[in-house]
Structure formats: C-alpha cells, structure tokens
Amino acid sequence: MPFMEDRITEMLVDQEDEITLHHPEVILVVGVNGVGKTTTIAKLANYYTKEGKKVIIAAGDTFRAAAADQLSIWADRVGVPIVKHKEGADPAAVVYDAMEAAKARNADMVIVDTAGRLHTKVNLMEELKKMGRVANNHVEGAPHQTLLVLDGTTGQNAVSQAKLFGQAVPVNGIVVTKLDGTAKGGVVISIKEELGVPVRWIGVGEGMDDLRPFNAKEFANALFNKGMIQGDK
C-alpha cells in the first residue's frame, strides 16, 4: 500500500527535526515504572558514548528502592560515570552534583533519571520543576530535552499516559519502547495525531544498540512491507 505508506511518512516526517546539542546537553527522562526507563537511559548513554560524547548519568529517582543501584549496574556496563545519592534524597541535589561533575569533567551530556510515579502528579510536577531550575542555573535553557518513555505494547494506555505527563511537565520528545511488532507500531501514529509531540527514539529489541533514532520513512516501510520492526538478533 504505497499510498498509505507515503501518507504515514508525511505525517511523521516533521518529527525528525535536527536537535542542536548544547554543552552540556541536559536530558530529563520521565515515565512510569515498568516502561523501560532505566534501560532507555543506559541505551541513550551507550548511543551517545559511541558517537564520541562524554556522558554523565544522574540517578534522580531517589523515590524507588534500589533505583540508583539498578542504574549503576547499567552505567558500569556502558562505561559512564553516575552521580547518585541515598534513597529518599532530594532529586534536585542529585542534579546539582551531576551538573558540577559535568563542568569538572567537561562532559557533553547529562542524562537524568526521574521518579516514575503519576499518582502524586502535583508533587512530581514540583519535583521536576525544581530539578529543571537547578539544571538551568548551570546551563541556560536546561533541561533541553524532556523525553517521555512509553511502552509500545500498551497501545492507547501509552497515549493516555503521555497526556497525563504532558499536563505535568513540558515533554518535547517521546521514546517508544518494545516496538518489535507491527501491531504495536500504531501507537506511534496515535501519539503524533493526539499529542503532536515528536517521537525521537524507538526501542526495537533487548540489545544495547536496539534503541534507534526515529526515522519516519523506515518506520512506515517496516510497518507495511516487512511486518516487523527489526531489532538486532
């Protein structure tokens, strides 16, 4: 169906605007627990490290037990430094220390994990605003990217989550994980239609290299012609 493929490409292609990176670029990663937020952060760090960037991870989820320890394992695996505090600490203090570390090490990028809870939306919003203010005090315009991680297998629930997070924080990019089958691909189109927020990355498998920059033409082609969005085997 070349017509449909072309229409979907046109609909999604404006999502591929080039992002001008700041120094350091501060990326806030948000999303509920269980969507693959921690592994997404590790894969982002891996991607940018391979691009020659010096990356620091900030373990800003001080709410969930063992969140920082889990992220530390991934950081070690990727080979990037991590800044973390004890459980229950102020996430903004983690961001402050990460920004100081970035300055001391001349890092190119700070990727910040955040608490994955929505039931306390007001608290989460205030927490994220404070983290943003601290980052902005170090680098103008930070956080430069606020990426919302969504699980592609949850369909319309993912769109509902995106709407809720969009009310709480200024999300300017989406990461859709677990997109390894056609049936799940429709969520990308729904997000674009209902939210107008660009999909920046898609996760197509378990491997470290299976988080990829979103490409509208490749996505539409995979959706209609291959029946699968292939990850590395």
Kindly tell me if the per-residue pLDDT of 120 is higher than 80. Answer: no
Rounded to a whole number of angstroms, the CA Rg of the chain reads: 17
Percent of the chain at pLDDT exceeding 70:
85
Tell me how far apart the alpha carbons of residues 17 and 200 are, in angstroms, rounded to a whole number: 9
Of the two residues 198 and 222, the one the predictor is more confident about is 198
Grade residue 194 by pLDDT with cuts at 50, 70 and 90: confident
pLDDT at 110: 99
With beta carbons less than 8 A apart as the criterion, state whether 86 and 140 touch.
no
Of the two residues 195 and 60, the one the predictor is more confident about is 60
The span from the first CA to the last CA of the chain, in angstroms, equals 28
Grade residue 24 by pLDDT with cuts at 50, 70 and 90: very high
* pLDDT tens digits, 65-119: 899 999 999 999 999 999 999 999 999 999 999 999 999 999 999 999 999 877 6
pLDDT at 3: 57
Kindly tell me if the per-residue pLDDT of 224 is higher than 90. Answer: no
DSSP letter (8 states) at residue 149: E
Kindly tell me if the per-residue pLDDT of 29 is higher than 70. Answer: yes
Q: Which residues are CB-neighbours of 110 under 8 A, at least 6 positions away?
A: 24, 25, 26, 27, 55, 56, 57, 58, 98, 99, 102, 135
Tell me the two tokens of residue 157. 């629930």
Helix (H) or strand (E) holding 192, with range, is helix 182-195
DSSP letter (8 states) at residue 154: G
pLDDT at 232: 44
pLDDT at 226: 58
What's the mean pLDDT when you consider all of the chain? 86
When pLDDT is averaged across residues 135-149 and rounded to a whole number, the result is 95
> How would CATH label the architecture of 2-14+22-226?
3-Layer(aba) Sandwich (3.40)
| Binding-site positions for GTP | 31-38, 113-117, 177-180
| Binding-site positions | 31-38, 113-117, 177-180
Kindly tell me if the per-residue pLDDT of 124 is higher than 70. Answer: yes
Tell me how far apart the alpha carbons of residues 184 and 208 are, in angstroms, rounded to a whole number: 20
- The one-letter code for the residue type at 162 is A
- The one-letter code for the residue type at 80 is V
Judged by average pLDDT, the poorest of 16-20, 56-60, 147-151, 203-207 is 16-20
Tell me the two tokens of residue 38. 């921690």
Of the two residues 196 and 211, the one the predictor is more confident about is 211
